Amino acid sequence: MINENIYVVLVEPENSANVGFIARSLMNFNFKHIILVNPKCNLNEAYVYAVHAKSVLENAMILNSLYEVKDFVDFMVGTTSKSGHDYNVARMSITPKMLVESMKDVKGNIGLIFGRESIGLKNEELKLCDIIVTIPTSKMYPSLNLSHAVAIILYELSSSQLSSRQEGFREASRIEKEKLLEYFSKILETLNIPSHRKERAFIIFKHVIGRAFISGREAYTLMGVFRHILLELNKLCNKSDN
């Protein structure tokens, strides 16, 4: 079941009540994995608010930084209430319903990354994520309480009937995707364009790869194409030097 491979990740949660309420939401929707990154609240108080979902907190994984989460999940889904635009591609996002459609029946571990109650996720943290999700809300008051945001996304994931991918499909691993992104980055380095455009192109490509949940075969095929592009570009550079 999809519930088994979903990890709710709270980055520096500040409110004990929210952590407890989120534990209850996990149990409500039949999820069980929670990761707390450098929590800033009193976890003993969180147990009080968790009520009958104390077992979720008892089994919580506590890490020091968001970078460590990459060791436990294959896909990182960031969340933000501040949807991006053409000049802030790090925050360009999709809706929870679009996320569900993108995920299909993914077998790899997926981390749902939620930021601090006060400031959410920072831009550099969002850049670590493969996909960014924003819950559509009123423009007059777009920010949701953290526990409410978690509950909404978990509800969307648990209530949707996800179609199964064909047998034999294997998602690209995080290592394969990072290698693919490395090749793309090397191609960008050879281009005579401003650095800010290179960074924007890299983030957009990363989000496209994240939304597609590409297979291992697709990743290797793209790596092969990128490798040949690099070889041809290097040949052209050598000719121009001569």
Q: What pLDDT score was predicted for residue 87?
A: 54
Model confidence over 113-136: pLDDT tens digits?
999 999 999 999 998 998 899 999
Contact call for residues 26 and 32 (beta carbons, < 8 A) = yes
pLDDT over 50 (residue 178) = yes
Model confidence over 3-32: pLDDT tens digits?
888 999 999 999 999 999 999 999 999 999
Q: How many residues does the chain have?
A: 242
What proportion of the chain, given as a percentage, has pLDDT over 70?
A: 89
pLDDT over 50 (residue 103) = yes
Contact call for residues 106 and 5 (beta carbons, < 8 A) = yes
Q: What pLDDT score was predicted for residue 4?
A: 85
Residue 145 — very low, low, confident or very high, per pLDDT cuts 50/70/90?
very high
3-state SS record for the chain: CHHHHEEEEEECCCCHHHHHHHHHHHHHCCCCEEEEECCCCCHHHHHHHHHHHHHHHHCCEEECCHHHHCCCCCEEEEECCCCCCCCCHHHCCECHHHHHHHHCCCCCCEEEEECECCCECCHHHHCCCCEEECCCCCCCCCCCCHHHHHHHHHHHHHHCCCCCCCCCCCECCHHHHHHHHHHHHHHHHHCCCCHHHHHHHHHHHHHHHHHHCCEHHHHHHHHHHHHHHHHHHHHHHHHHHC
Q: What pLDDT score was predicted for residue 33?
A: 97
Q: What pLDDT score was predicted for residue 110?
A: 93
What does the mean pLDDT of the chain come to? 87
Write out the two tokens for 126.
């969002």
Model confidence over 230-241: pLDDT tens digits?
888 888 877 766
Q: What pLDDT score was predicted for residue 85?
A: 55
Residue 164 — very low, low, confident or very high, per pLDDT cuts 50/70/90?
very low
User: Could you give the CA distance from residue 193 to residue 212 in angstroms, rounded to a whole number?
Assistant: 27
Q: What pLDDT score was predicted for residue 39?
A: 97
